[in-house]
Chain A
Amino acid sequence: MTFSIKEEYAGKHILLTGGTGFVGKVWLVMALSRMPDIGRIYVLMRGKGRSVADRWIKIVNENPAFRPLHERHGADLSKFIAERVEVIQGTLDSPQMSIEDSIADRLRENVDLIVNCAGLVDFNPDVRVAVSSNLDGSLHVADFAASCKKAAMIHVSTCYVAGTKDGFIPETIAETTPNGTPLDPEAEYIRLKEIIEETEAENESEETIKTLTEEVVARLEKRGYEPTEKRVSGTVGRLKSKRLREVMSQAGTDRAKELGWPNTYTYTKALAEMITKVRYPNLRHTVLRPAIVESSLEFPFPGWNEGFNTSGPLIYLSGTWLRHIPAKAGNPLDIIPVDLVVNGIFIAGAAVMRGEHAEVYQTGSSDRAFLPIDRLTELSALGHRQHLRKTGANRVEKLILSRWDAISSDPEHMLNVSNIREVVFQVTRYLRHGRPEKIPKEWKEEAEDMAKSGDKAQRKLRQIEEVLDLFMPFTYDHYMVFEARALDKHPIAEAEFRFNPEDIDWRKYWLECHMPGLRRWCFPSQYENKETETYTPEVPFVMLQAGTAEPLPAQEAR
Chain B
Amino acid sequence: MSETNTAAFFRAEGTLISSGVLQAAAYMASQRAGMRERLLRFGQTALAAPIYGVLGQNDRTLGNRVAHLSYRDISEDRVAILAEEYVEDILKEKILDSGLELMKQAKKEGRRIVVISEGISEIMKGIEPHLRYVDDLVCNRLEYKDHKATGKLIDPIVGGYDGGTWLKDYARKHELDLERSVAYAGHGPDLLLLSAVGEPCAVNPDFTLRKAAKEADWPIMEYTA
Interface set of A (CB-CB < 8 Å, partner B): 375, 378-379, 381-382, 385-386, 389, 403, 405, 407, 507, 511
Contact = CB atoms under 8 A, between A and B. Distances in A.
A379 B34 contact: no
Contact of A382 (B34, B78, B147): B78
A386 B89 CA distance: 13
B31 A382 contact: no
A542 to B, nearest CB: 47
A511 B80 CA distance: 12
B33 interface: yes
B33 A375 contact: no
A385 B75 CA distance: 15
Contacts of B85: 389
B196 to A, nearest CB: 39
B221 interface: no
Contacts of B78: 378, 382
Q: Enumerate the 6 nearest inter-chain pairs by beta-carbon distance, A residue then B residue, closest first.
A: A405-B33, A382-B81, A507-B77, A378-B75, A379-B77, A378-B77
Nearest to A382: B81
Per DSSP, are chain A's interface residues mostly helix, strand or loop, or mixed? helix
Nearest to A374: B75
Interface in B36-87: 75, 77-78, 80-81, 85
Interface string B172-202: 0000000000000000000000000000000
B147 to A, nearest CB: 6
Contacts of B77: 375, 378-379, 382, 507
Given A386-B81, A507-B77, A381 B33 contact: yes
Nearest to A389: B85
A384 to B, nearest CB: 11
A375 B75 contact: yes
B34 A375 contact: no
A377 to B, nearest CB: 9
Given A375-B75, A375-B147, A378-B75, A407 B81 contact: no
Given A375-B75, A378-B75, A407 B34 contact: yes
Contact of B80 (A381, A407, A507): A507
A353 to B, nearest CB: 41
Nearest to A376: B77
B33 A407 contact: yes
Given A378-B75, A405-B34, A385 B147 contact: no
B149 to A, nearest CB: 13
A244 to B, nearest CB: 47
Contacts of A385: 81
A382 B83 CA distance: 12
Contacts of B80: 507
A403 B81 CA distance: 12
Residues of B in contact with A, size category: 10 to 19
Between A389, A405, A407, the greatest number of chain B beta carbons within 10 A of the residue's beta carbon is seen for A405
Interface string B137-179: 0000000000100000000000000000000000000000000
Contacts of A407: 33-34
A386 B85 CA distance: 9
Contacts of A389: 85
Contacts of A511: 81
B38 to A, nearest CB: 9
A242 to B, nearest CB: 44
Nearest to B148: A375
A379 B33 CA distance: 11
A386 B33 CA distance: 14
Given A378-B33, A379-B77, A507-B77, 11 more contacts: A375-B77, A378-B75, A378-B77, A378-B78, A382-B77, A382-B81, A405-B34, A407-B33, A407-B34, A507-B80, A511-B81
A421 B31 CA distance: 28
Interface string B113-155: 0000000000000000000000000000000000100000000
A381 B37 CA distance: 16
A507 B144 CA distance: 16
Contacts of A386: 81
A451 to B, nearest CB: 31
Contacts of A381: 33
Contacts of A507: 77, 80
B184 to A, nearest CB: 35
A407 B75 CA distance: 13
A403 B82 CA distance: 11
Contacts of B147: 375
Contacts of A375: 75, 77, 147
A375 B80 CA distance: 14
A385 B78 CA distance: 11
Nearest to B88: A389
Contacts of A403: 31
B72 to A, nearest CB: 16
Contacts of A382: 77-78, 81
A398 B97 CA distance: 31
A375 B146 CA distance: 10
A315 to B, nearest CB: 14
A172 B99 CA distance: 64
A276 to B, nearest CB: 41
Interface string B5-33: 00000000000000000000000000101
Nearest to B75: A378
Contacts of B34: 405, 407
B69 to A, nearest CB: 21
A31 to B, nearest CB: 35
B28 to A, nearest CB: 13
A336 B93 CA distance: 40
9 contacts: A375-B147, A378-B77, A379-B77, A381-B33, A382-B77, A382-B81, A407-B34, A507-B77, A511-B81
Nearest to B38: A403
A372 to B, nearest CB: 9
Contacts of B31: 403
Nearest to A330: B146
B193 to A, nearest CB: 35
Contacts of A379: 77
A13 B77 CA distance: 46
Contacts of A405: 33-34
A385 B32 CA distance: 12
Between B33, B80, B85, the greatest number of chain A beta carbons within 10 A of the residue's beta carbon is seen for B33
A475 B151 CA distance: 29
B146 to A, nearest CB: 9
A271 B85 CA distance: 51
B51 to A, nearest CB: 28
A226 to B, nearest CB: 60
Contacts of A378: 33, 75, 77-78
Nearest to A510: B77
Contacts of B33: 378, 381, 405, 407
A382 B74 CA distance: 13
A375 B147 CA distance: 9
A466 to B, nearest CB: 27
A107 to B, nearest CB: 49
